[in-house]
């Protein structure tokens, strides 16, 4: 091992949820493969978002609820690195901290899970007809403004029913018949190795763009911790990192948060970074969508370009509408 990288112990901070612990153990495994002589300790934390399990995130004050306590532990030197789900990670965070690495991204896509009653109807479903499985007025479980708005664009008849709790809890609610279908991130199912969900139906991006950063992890450390920067570099995957930088720059330029139904997905195609994004109002009655292609070397520029492209094409009036609605409710983005 390079002596400049030597540390005797790495303390990792994470949320206490089963999914957070599963993805943190993946990072632990990768670190052990690169640095077998370093002692690794996982410190789980219960965040504010974990304590408020029955309230929509749009009413809780933002994604920072899932990172605040862990970042405080970083700042007070209780831990050395933090593992976050990127889609829960705010675009604005303390200047004294840094995203040092983005490992290889898991599936960024959403999947539709069907109730037992609808399973038979799902046979032979194609990517262009999967919405036809759902009967008129079907109850679909999600608490995501992004997902519900995109559902309503194609199927305004659907009943969107709030759905919170961990992945296992959500699946159990579906099995009990409380919903006709629910929507989950495929990455969570994969990381928890839930392979018995044979009725999962991948939702094509033509119908539903994912959340910013969905499927990716953020490995965070202190800005001045050079050793941790260098250690975490070994886990970074360049294409995943570039895609995430583009998506987050798009969201930041819009000034959006969890109160805003915004979606984006970036990938590398033929040596270029392709970023597709969308702005919509919560009802799905107004939306604008667009794509930009740029060199891989300028991911954040790509995000800013797309944001202004959409803002200049109906996007600004949609954002103004959302701001006005939030102001009337006494909420902020």
Strand-pair partners of 140: 160, 181
CA–chain centroid gap for 54, Å, is 19
CA–chain centroid gap for 279, Å, is 16
Sign of the dihedral through C-alpha 114, 117, 122, 128 = negative
Reply yes or no on whether 88 is catalytic. yes
Q: Is 129 helix (H, G, I), strand (E, B) or coil?
A: coil
Contact 148, 211 (CB under 8 A): no
For residues 55 and 62, what is the distance between their CA atoms, to the nearest angstrom? 12
Distances (CA, A) of 270 to 131, 162, 275, 293, 331: 31, 40, 13, 10, 43
Residue 213: count other Cβ atoms within 10 Å of its Cβ.
26
Contact 138, 158 (CB under 8 A): yes
Catalytic residue among 88, 110, 180, 225: 88
Distances (CA, A) of 18 to 123, 154, 192: 31, 33, 8
**Which helix H or strand E contains 13, and what residues bound it?**
strand 9-15
| Token representation of residue 278 | 């969308």
Question: Got the DSSP string for 95-121?
Answer: TTEEEEE--------EEEEE-HHHHGG
Count of positions (residues) in the chain: 333
Residues annotated as catalytic are: 88
């Amino acid at each position: 091992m390079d002596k400049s990288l030597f540390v005797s112990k790495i303390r990792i901070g994470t949320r206490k949820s089963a999914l957070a612990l599963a993805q943190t153990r993946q990072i632990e495994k990768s670190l052990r493969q690169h640095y077998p002589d370093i002692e690794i300790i996982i410190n789980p934390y219960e965040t504010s978002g974990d304590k408020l399990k029955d309230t929509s995130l749009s009413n809780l004050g933002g994604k920072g609820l899932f990172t605040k306590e862990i970042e405080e532990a970083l700042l007070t030197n209780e831990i050395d690195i933090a593992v976050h789900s990127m889609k829960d990670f705010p675009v604005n965070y303390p200047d004294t901290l840094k995203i040092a690495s983005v490992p290889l991204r898991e599936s960024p896509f959403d999947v539709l899970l069907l109730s037992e009653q609808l399973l038979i109807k799902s046979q032979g479903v194609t990517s262009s007809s999967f919405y036809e499985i759902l009967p008129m007025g079907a109850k679909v479980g999600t608490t995501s403004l992004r997902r519900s708005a995109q559902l309503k664009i194609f199927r305004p008849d659907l009943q969107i029913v709030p759905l919170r709790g961990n992945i296992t809890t959500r699946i159990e609610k579906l099995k009990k018949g409380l919903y006709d279908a629910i929507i989950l991130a495929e990455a969570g199912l994969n990381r928890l190795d839930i392979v018995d969900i044979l009725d999962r139906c991948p939702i094509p991006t033509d119908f539903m763009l994912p959340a910013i950063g969905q499927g990716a992890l953020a490995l965070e450390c202190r800005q001045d911790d050079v050793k941790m920067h260098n250690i975490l570099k070994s886990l970074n995957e360049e294409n995943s990192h570039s895609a995430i930088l583009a998506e987050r720059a798009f969201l930041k330029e819009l000034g959006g948060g969890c109160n805003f139904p915004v979606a984006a997905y970036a990938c590398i195609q033929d040596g270029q970074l392709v970023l597709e994004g969308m702005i919509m109002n919560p009802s799905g009655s107004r939306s604008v969508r667009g794509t930009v292609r740029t060199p891989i070397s300028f991911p954040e520029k790509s995000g800013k370009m797309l944001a202004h492209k959409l803002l200049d094409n109906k996007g600004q009036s949609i954002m103004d509408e959302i701001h006005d609605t939030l102001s009337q409710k006494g909420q902020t983005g």
